[in-house]
Structure 1
Amino acid sequence: MTAVPYSIRQEAEHIFRDTLLRDQRLGLPQKVASASERTTFDTTAIDTACLPVPWKFFESSAALWALAATYGNAIAKERFGVDQDVVVNTDVASLFLCSSLLVRVNGKSFQDSEIGARVANMNATKSLAMIGLPPTNPDLDTSEKIIAEISSKVEEYDADWLDTEANQYWRQAGTICLTEDEFHTSEQGKAIKDDGIYVINQFDTPSLPPTPYPTVSRDKLRPLEGLKMIDISRPDIGPLLIDGNLGKRDVSLDLKSESGRATLRRLISDADVVLDGYRPGALDRLGLGADYCRTLARRRGRGVVVVRENCYGWSGPLAPRSGWQQISDCFTGVAWGMGRFLGLNEPVVPPLPNSNYQTGLAGLVGILAAVDRRATDGGSYVVDVSLKQSSKSE
């Protein structure tokens, strides 16, 4: 019997139609299922795996893009009466996961040493101090010497000590690498095991009536045309700023100053969607968290959608911790799975920041769902997404 070759496109469509569209946790309305009949996957795309990973990174990226585009198509039909098709190219969806690596400035790639040195220098002073090393050492003039020096110091401590010191005392992101089974049996894993790729909580109904979509010119028929979105985040890493800020208007605010807080409050007061990209609780401590956004919405009589993103999920003992894509991959067992896939008895962080980008896609679908519900049911909404929710769904 001849084996059927594996197809990226077919698996992406399977995830889209048989997993995402049927996931009751997402609360998708019937119009999305109806719109999915006009969603197809481009048959001219490369259909074989192009990167050796044991997880369905590319397939799930394409499936999430299909869901986002299908939901947007359903909203566009409802708003503008347009009938159109959605065609998903799995090549483009795959490249999306490494788009920050493809950025060019004035024709120069971020692989250029001059640009890379400017934007890729993350402050490691606290992490070095934690293990008793100075911030600089001119004698360590090669990467081999630096690795050997740091490795010898790290070996002086056990994983529990490093985990506790980093997260609690030094407030640095870090985690113990778990296997997939260890993650699922951990208190944090059990706390978020029933979460979908996003969790939506509705507030302030029926006090806030439905918010109709704004009237826009007929030459702009994008699904969310006319809605105002505020993205609050720190542009620490240059490639991500350029990659993630396309189409946005930028403003730099000092949120620890009264003038900066007042400006952000004014921006939020008129926003339809607010994206909180800070570590959990940071905006709350500044008085500008989700609860306050909802208060401003009640005052104006029009609901708001607040999207919160974190690493560990929004319930469980580790929910307040900060974390990055690498932390999520290590905590959920993705790194151990990658290492074993490569024939190694050690965890290896995958070569692409998959959970970063797929969390963004999950947030996009969550925004579409919450804005759609605001238009029909009224109220305000908090959309929770996390790197862990994305990692455990791969």
Structure 2
Amino acid sequence: MDRYSVLDESARILQDKLLSDAGLSLHPSIADAAKKISFTGDDPKPFIPSPCKMTESASALSALVAASASAIAADRYGCGFQDIQVNTDLATLFLESVMLPTVKGQSFMGHDHLMSEVQKGDLFDMGKPIHRQASNVYKTKDGRFYHLHGSMNAGPTMKMMGVEEQDVTTEQAIDIYAEKVVQHDAQDLERRANDEFKQAGVTCLTPEEFFESEQGKIMSAEALWTKREIPAPKSQWPAVTPSDKAALKPLAGIRVIDFSRVIAAPVISKLLAVLGAEVIKVTNERLPDISLLWVDLSTGKRDTNIDLKTAEGKKQFTSLVEGADVLIDGYRPGALARLGFDGPALRSINDRLVYVRENCYGFKGPLANRSGWQQISDCLVGIAWLQGRFLGLDEPVVPLLPNSDYQVGLVGAAAVLDALLQRTKSGVTYDIDVSLTQYNIWYYRLGQYNEIQSKEILARNEGFKVRHFDEMMSLLGKMYAAIQKVRPDLFKHPEYFWKMSGKEWGMNEDIHILAPAFKFEKSRLEYTVPSGSRGRSKPVWDTSKSRL
């Protein structure tokens, strides 16, 4: 039996790959705070059927977030560094937390009223098979594999491929797209999708191919995240209410604008919310989103509808920026700038603002301005080929959970916490860039399981089967079933799930969601705002809480 332990490996990654990384230039107190971290978990062995270290990466990054928050609490309240527990089981469940909300012990997806509210945000019927299978991996004429992507509106991709609107089964939809894609070479599809139709899509590369590519060479020289110092007046921590001070909330009084969709960037703001920040999510009811994600990922946030293409919308957004500490921008590179809010414009409104950008490919290199998704980066960097080969296949398989999405959320939260701390020490603020590709490069470089470890993981998951044409919702469903089979104990811990009100969805019942993977000796973690329907909030900050 191999003596490998996810707890020990998580601790090693935290120390060697994060705290000791000079490229991150973390505030020194974060490493001191991390000395009081302990990793816990009911099973020290990895159980996700993946060649890469999902659990260990998520646990180490969760620990970095927690250490950074502890350093801030110590700086603000003089409470000293706290004992911190990071649960590796919870860190693993975190990677599929959008699937885990329940109502009365049953999946939220079976609650008729809640799903009717969620479906109001699905503007282009993403669940329809002919739409959903526009985002999948298919074999090409030249024997490559290509990740076709329909984004949140499959129409342009369907037009590119010559696929008509039709009512078919999932299997039939897969066959329809497979027959179309195999008529084209991969590079031709990639060019047409990205250059002509402005849709995401990428050839599935091996890691070796990626690192030999121009994008790979440029982005592999980048740190896990990129930050740039911007001269600014020295910041102070905001004054807080007596109750928040008593709770030692690390981010009490900090205001965050979440200008993003889907998973990665919303995870950043959700993590900041549980640490005490006030978060307003800026949405536009005329733009599509994956509304199924809102039940979990909108937790801790008020949600306001603003159209930035109107004068009134620009005025509302400017007012929010004036009072914000952090702006998280998860739209395609340049989208916010084209609306009149590039970095200099934002700083002319608020010179202390920490501005965070999140994208797929990274913000350098020839592919920087492309549209992208988690699966696109996974296929670009070669993680999908590693996954397929691990399962004994001669084909790429997208990683079995939205791993890079969630873990970029952890990366972004850690980067923001460090920036907020550092801007109180000198006259600076920060531009921060995080990307799925920067994370995937770092993740790949953590190394993969050895032969013995891999055999043990596969033995634990006997009978688990996926193929290249299993798209993300299929993978999530199969992984949820696999985790329940391999680790049924994970769902028998009531303390792993927190209760929140369903009132913002128009429900009388409560909703249970996954708890954070970390907890503190003293600081209280909580979501003071439940998730709810889109655009339900006014575009104003809470003035009941005093600020310096």
- Shorter-chain TM-score bucket reads over 0.9
- Residue in 1 aligned with 2:311? 258
Are residues 1:57 and 2:54 paired? yes
Give the deviation of 1:294 after TM superposition. 1.4
Q: Is the 8 A contact 1:304 1:379 kept in 2?
A: no
Q: 1:18 offset after TM fit, Å?
A: 1.9
- In structure 1, what is the equivalent of residue 478 of structure 2? none
Letter in structure 1 aligned against 2:414:
V
> Residues 101 and 239 of structure 1 are in contact (CA less than 8 Å); yes or no, is this contact kept in structure 2?
no
| One-letter amino acid of the structure 2 residue matched with residue 133 of structure 1 | V
Q: Aligned AA for 1:129?
A: K
Q: Which amino acid aligns with 2:218?
A: A
Between Structure 1 and Structure 2, how many residues are aligned? 381
Q: Encode CA deviations 1:94-121: one digit per residue, 9 max, x unaligned.
A: 1100101112367652554974993553
2:298 and 2:169 map into 1 onto residues whose CA distance is 35
Alignment check: 8 A CA contact 1:97 1:354 kept: yes
| Distance in structure 1 (CA, Å) of the matches to 2:183 and 2:251 | 54
Question: How far does residue 45 in structure 1 lie from its aligned partner after superposition?
Answer: 2.7
Counterpart residue identity of residue 48, structure 2: L
Q: Deviations over 1:141-199 (max 9, x none)?
A: 32222222221111111111110111111111111111001111111111111222211
Partners of 2:6 and 2:56 within 8 A in 1: yes
Q: Is the contact made by 1:191 and 1:316 (CA closer than 8 Å) also made in structure 2?
A: yes
Distance 1:88 1:225 in 2: 22
Alpha carbons of structure 1 residues 234 and 89: separation in structure 2 relative to 1, 3 Å: closer
Bigger CA drift: 68-77 or 29-38? 29-38
Q: Secondary structure at the match of 2:388?
A: helix
Q: Bigger shift: 236-245 or 379-388?
A: 236-245
What are the Cα deviations for residues 61-92 of structure 1, in whole angstroms up to 9, with x where unaligned?
00001011011111111110113211111011
In the alignment, is the contact (CA less than 8 A) between 1:307 and 1:384 conserved in 2?
yes
Tell me which of 382, 394, 405 is aligned to 1:333: 382
Residue 137 (structure 1) shift? 2.2
Quote the offset at 1:240 in angstroms.
Answer: 2.1
Partner residue of 1:314?
Answer: 363
Q: Output one character per residue of 1:296-321: Cα deviation in whole Å (capped at 9) or x when no partner.
A: 124xxxx1100000000111111111
Aligned residue identity for 1:230: I
Task: Quote the residue 2:321 is aligned against.
Answer: 268
* Contact 2:103 2:111 survives alignment (8 Å): no
Shift of 1:213: 0.6
Higher strand proportion: 2
Query: Is the Cα–Cα contact under 8 Å of residues 327 and 355 in structure 2 kept in the other structure?
Result: yes
Q: Does residue 212 in structure 1 map to residue 228 in structure 2?
A: no
Task: Find the counterpart in structure 1 of residue 26 from structure 2.
Answer: 28
User: Following superposition of structure 1 onto structure 2, how do residues 1-394 of structure 1 map, counting pairs within 5 Å?
Assistant: 4-42=2-40, 44-83=41-80, 84-104=82-102, 109=107, 111-112=109-110, 115=115, 118=119, 120-121=126-127, 122-134=152-164, 136-138=165-167, 141-203=168-230, 205=231, 208-216=232-240, 217=242, 218-234=245-261, 236-298=289-351, 303-394=352-443
Alpha-carbon RMSD across the aligned residues, in angstroms, is 1.8
* Contact 2:200–2:372, Cα closer than 8 Å, also in 1: yes
Alpha-carbon distance in structure 2 between the residues aligned to 1:334 and 1:72: 31
Structure 1 residue 261: Cα displacement: 1.8
Q: TM-score, normalised by structure 2?
A: 0.67
| Cα drift, residue 28 of structure 1 | 1.4
Query: 1:230 touches 1:275 (CA, 8 Å); kept in 2?
Result: yes
Any idea what SS the aligned residue of 1:40 has? strand
Post-superposition offset of 1:227: 1.0
Give the whole-Å Cα distance in 1 for the aligned partners of 2:160 and 2:5: 47
Do the aligned partners of 2:27 and 2:422 also contact (CA within 8 Å) in 1?
Answer: no
Structure 1: distance between partners of 2:33 and 2:441: 27
Q: Secondary structure at the match of 1:376?
A: coil
Which runs of 5 or more structure 2 residues have no equivalent in the other structure?
128-151, 263-288, 444-548
Q: Which amino acid aligns with 2:70?
A: N
Task: Report the Cα distance in structure 2 between the residues aligned to 1:180 and 1:257, rounded to whole angstroms.
Answer: 44
Q: Measure, in 1, the Cα distance between the counterparts of 2:175 and 2:55.
A: 35
What are the Cα deviations for residues 40-75 of structure 1, in whole angstroms up to 9, with x where unaligned? 112x43211121100011100000010110111111
Letter of the 1:64 counterpart: L
Query: Which range moved further: 180-189 or 235-244?
Result: 235-244
User: How many Å separate the matches in 1 of 2:258 and 2:319?
Assistant: 14
SS at match of 1:392: helix
Q: Residue type matched to 2:208 in 1?
A: D
CA distance in 2, matches of 1:167, 1:110: 36
Which letter maps to 2:441?
Answer: K
The range that moved more, 225-234 or 3-12, is: 3-12
Give 5+ residue unaligned stretches, structure 1: none
Distance in 1, matches of 2:233 and 2:85, equals 35
Question: SS of the residue aligned with 1:63?
Answer: helix
Distance 1:96 1:72 in 2: 18
